Structure 1
Amino acid sequence: MEALALGFSLGLWAGVNPGPLTLLVIRQALIHGAGAAALASLAPLLTDSFAILLAFLVAQSLPPGLERVMEAVGGMFLIYLGYKGLRKAGDTDSRSGALRGLRDAVMVNLTNPHMYLFWFAVGVGQLKRPAPEPLWFILGFYPAIVGSKALIGLLIARYRHLPWLLPLARWSNALLIALGGYLLVVAARA
């Protein structure tokens, strides 16, 4: 049960931690509603398996500059998403917006070096433990990360029509641009 508690705690931390995926979930909630936010919250289920596989296969032999390259690519993608969001502020087609949001969330997560660092540094160690501990870790982690992001999206969507929340969609796009710029600066400095 220790592995379940650890997985749940780390998943909850990752779920409520401010970052690109959380910003996308908030943006989806504000523009397209709770369903689109919940769909975007599923990105870790679709992307982490790739990071886990990489962690098992190549954790020791990664080129030193790979993290910088991923930060730069991720930064450029966040700037693109923020710019696109600012240009299409009036686009509220929920069905196509939800699918685009999921696609964007998957791309953001795949280009987020922090997801890989988590699985290389913390996750792979938990998954190499004797059975059934890895299963308990996963059963704690994924419901917590997906559930907490979906809950944030649900709460934002529920109150998105309040006048003081309406500008938040624009601000979340501006924050995506700022976060993308920060990742580019970090990648260039390293």
Structure 2
Amino acid sequence: MEALVLGLTLGLWAGVNPGPLTLLVIRQALSHGARPALMASLAPLLTDSAAIVLAFFLARELPQGLTRALEAAGGVFLLYLGYKGLRGQATLDSAPHTSTQSLRDAVIVNLTNPHMYLFWFTVGLSQLKRPLPEPLWFILGFYPAIVGSKALIALTVARVRQATWTQPLARYSNVLLLALGSYLLFLSARP
């Protein structure tokens, strides 16, 4: 049961932690409503499994070059999303956006986030290497907590998105995506 509680706790922390995926979920909820934001919150189900497999078989930290490449790719993609959002946002509902597009964008954001890999190569790996059934309990706690907390954020933001005070937030979330993308590019270029 310790592994289940640890998985729930870390999943909740990862779900509400400010980062590229959480910001994207909020932006989708503000700009397009609950359904696309909920789809974006499912990204960890698709992306973390790749990191889990890599961590389990490689069992070491990511090489510095790969971390920088992921930061650069993630930075470029966040710049693209921020620019696309600012360019196409005359009103909150100006451009149709499908749930599939939201999920695709969220998967790309999460796959290019080196912090997801670092989590699974460090904290996650320590749980995966424990004797069975502990790793299963950890994963059964982690995924519902991370997806559920992101979904709760999506539903909460989508519920208030029509209020006049939230309309500038969608624009600001696009500016934050641009800033976060620039920061990741800066990190990837450091010596």
TM-score by length of 2: 0.94
Q: Which residue of 2 aligns with 1:28?
A: 28
Q: Which residue of 2 aligns with 1:43?
A: 43
SS of equivalent to 2:18: coil
Offset of residue 59 of structure 1: 3.4
CA contact (8 A) 1:79 1:177 kept: yes
**Residues in 1 aligned to 2:35 and 2:118: alpha-carbon distance in whole angstroms:** 29
Gaps in structure 2 of 5+ consecutive residues:
none
Identity %: 71
Offset of residue 175 of structure 1: 0.3
Q: Which residue of 1 aligns with 2:18?
A: 18
**Is 1:187 equivalent to 2:188 in the alignment?**
yes
TM-score by length of 1: 0.95
**Residues in 2 aligned to 1:61 and 1:122: alpha-carbon distance in whole angstroms:** 11
CA contact (8 A) 2:56 2:128 kept: no
Gaps in structure 1 of 5+ consecutive residues:
none
**Is 1:170 equivalent to 2:147 in the alignment?**
no
Q: Which residue of 2 aligns with 1:78?
A: 78
CA contact (8 A) 2:61 2:118 kept: no
CA contact (8 A) 1:40 1:101 kept: yes
**Residues in 2 aligned to 1:169 and 1:142: alpha-carbon distance in whole angstroms:** 27
Amino acid across the alignment from 2:84: K
Offset of residue 125 of structure 1: 1.3
Q: Which residue of 2 aligns with 1:64?
A: 64
Seen in structure 2, the aligned counterparts of structure 1 residues 34 and 113 have a Cα distance that, compared at 3 Å, is same
**Residues in 2 aligned to 1:101 and 1:15: alpha-carbon distance in whole angstroms:** 17
Q: Count matched residues.
A: 188
Instruction: Provide Cα deviations, 1:33-55, integer angstroms capped at 9, x if missing partner.
Output: 11111110000001111111111
**Is 1:103 equivalent to 2:100 in the alignment?**
no
Instruction: Provide Cα deviations, 1:162-185, integer angstroms capped at 9, x if missing partner.
Output: 111111111111100000000111
Q: Which residue of 1 aligns with 2:161?
A: 160
**Residues in 2 aligned to 1:80 and 1:21: alpha-carbon distance in whole angstroms:** 14
Offset of residue 124 of structure 1: 1.3
**Residues in 2 aligned to 1:36 and 1:62: alpha-carbon distance in whole angstroms:** 32
Seen in structure 2, the aligned counterparts of structure 1 residues 114 and 49 have a Cα distance that, compared at 3 Å, is same
Seen in structure 2, the aligned counterparts of structure 1 residues 36 and 118 have a Cα distance that, compared at 3 Å, is same
Tell which deviates more after alignment, 13-22 or 53-62: 53-62
